Amino acid sequence: MRRRVLVVVSPLVVALALATMTPPRAALAAPPAEADRTAARHFADGQKAFAAGDYPHAGDEFEAAYRDKPHHAPLWNAARSWQRAGEEVRAANLFARYLREAPADAPDRDQANASLRALTARLGRIEPHAAGVEKLRLDGKTVDAPVLYVAPGEHVAEGDDGGVRVRKVVTVRAGEQVSVTVAPDARPSPVLGPPRGGEPNERGPSRKPLSPIIPVVGGVLTAVVGGLTIASGLDTVSKRDAFLGDKTQDRLDTAFSSQSRTNVLLGTTIGLGALTAVVAVFFTDWSSSATPSREVSVRR
């Protein structure tokens, strides 16, 4: 196949060729004659930059010529410039646009196809669709083609749903084409924060593992053992008085035994009370017994 190089034509020829094209329906920023001259100037500057090896500058100038006066010739030259600059993603998208817009008998169509095939093997392709959203974007840029060439990896497709941004992450591998649809149901569920006024949220996931029944049982046991402690203390006082009235060894031993029992019960009561308080404060989910007082509605 014959190898083709950068199209080199005079600015006057470019201006005449671009002038024959039907302008887009949107109004131009400048009168048509001025747009033709500006496009021709950008095209000429792109040729000079390409010849000097300044491929990024050449790519920018050819794209500027296309914006001023859409025509497939600047697209071809811009794609070749960015390919030589090493910007393969940008080059691939420009080659694809050239193939969509150039006539079937365009002289550079075969080479554009060959270049795009080589780039396709190293890049990913994403086919984005919008369903119920506006302003479809991919990686922050407006989607302006049915299929976009991207670097392999993760990319973000997004759109607007009534002022709310809807995002969807898509992963693509080299040589792979994936389709992604951005729709309102792709939006993550909102995370509820504290309502206005500083009030806590309605029941959320609790980090405390124990039910309120545990400290309640602990409180009951503490009360029972406390009652036994009081009864034992009264019994100890009675036995002490009996010893003081009749100081015998048997009465002394009985009084000491009663006092030891009272001390054990008193220690048990204090320990149970302290343990119950710690469990109640730090380990009990008291919200599990509360009834929500209001409802929170979330628009999904």
- Look up the domain containing 135 and give its range: 123-189
List the chain pLDDT tens, one digit each, 300 residues: 434 444 444 444 444 344 434 333 333 445 668 888 999 999 999 999 999 999 999 999 999 999 999 999 999 999 999 999 999 999 999 999 999 999 999 999 999 999 999 999 999 999 999 998 899 999 999 999 999 999 999 999 999 988 899 999 999 999 999 999 999 874 444 444 444 444 444 444 546 677 777 777 777 877 887 788 788 778 878 877 776 777 777 777 787 787 788 788 778 878 777 777 877 777 777 665 544 434 333 343
Q: Are residue 164 and residue 254 in the same domain, yes or no? A: no
pTM for the predicted model, two decimal places: 0.54
Q: Are residue 102 and residue 138 in the same domain, yes or no? A: no
Q: What is the CATH number of the domain that holds 53?
A: 1.25.40.10
- Residue 238 domain-assigned? yes
Q: Are residue 129 and residue 81 in the same domain, yes or no? A: no
Q: Are residue 245 and residue 280 in the same domain, yes or no? A: yes
Q: What is the CATH number of the domain that holds 154?
A: 2.60.40.1120
> How many domains in the chain?
3
**How is residue 4 written in tokens?**
């083709």
Last residue of a domain, one of 92, 121, 150: 121
- Residue 199 domain-assigned? no
Q: Are residue 228 and residue 130 in the same domain, yes or no? A: no
Q: Are residue 224 and residue 280 in the same domain, yes or no? A: yes
Alpha-carbon span 187 to 176, nearest angstrom: 25
Q: Are residue 167 and residue 246 in the same domain, yes or no? A: no
Stretch (H or E) spanning 42: helix 32-51
Q: Are residue 57 and residue 74 in the same domain, yes or no? A: yes
Q: Are residue 16 and residue 103 in the same domain, yes or no? A: yes
